[in-house]
Amino acid sequence: MTRLPPLYMLLFLAVFLIPMAALAHGVDDSTKQFLLSNQGVSIIPYLYIGAKHMVTGYDHLLFLVGVIFFLYRSRP
């Protein structure tokens, strides 16, 4: 059985022990009030909130850049 070097173990622990709430980004106050006070089905406002959340979230944008970067292959 091979043993991981200490640096890899430290990185592993740092990545998996950081609470997910610290890595997430929230919504603005007006959106939060809408979400808390909303009752019933509201498809269009939720689509708008979801799209705004995707565009303003740096983690979502980095994910899309990563997907495009790793899926793109240059031609020989």
Q: Would you say residue 15 lies in a domain?
A: no
Question: Is 76 among the domain residues?
Answer: yes
Question: What average pLDDT values come out for the chain (76 residues) when binned by 10 residues?
Answer: 71 66 69 85 87 81 83 68
Instruction: Answer yes or no: is 8 within a domain.
Output: no
Report if residue 14 sits inside a domain: no
What is the reported pTM?
0.49
Residue 19 lies in a domain: no
In the 8-state DSSP scheme, what is residue 18? Answer: S
For residue 19, what pLDDT is reported?
54
Helix H, strand E, coil C: the string for 8-26 is HHHHHHHHHHCCHHHHCCC
Place of tokens 């980004």: 25
Q: What is the count of structural domains for the chain?
A: 1
The confidence score (pLDDT) of residue 40 equals 82
What integer pLDDT is reported at residue 25 of this predicted model? 64
| pLDDT of amino acid 55 | 82
Residue 75 within any structural domain of the chain? yes
Question: For helices 29-37 and 43-56, what crossing angle results, to 10°?
Answer: 150
Tokens at 60, concatenated: 């979502």
- Residue 64 belongs to domain spanning: 25-76
pLDDT at 72: 74
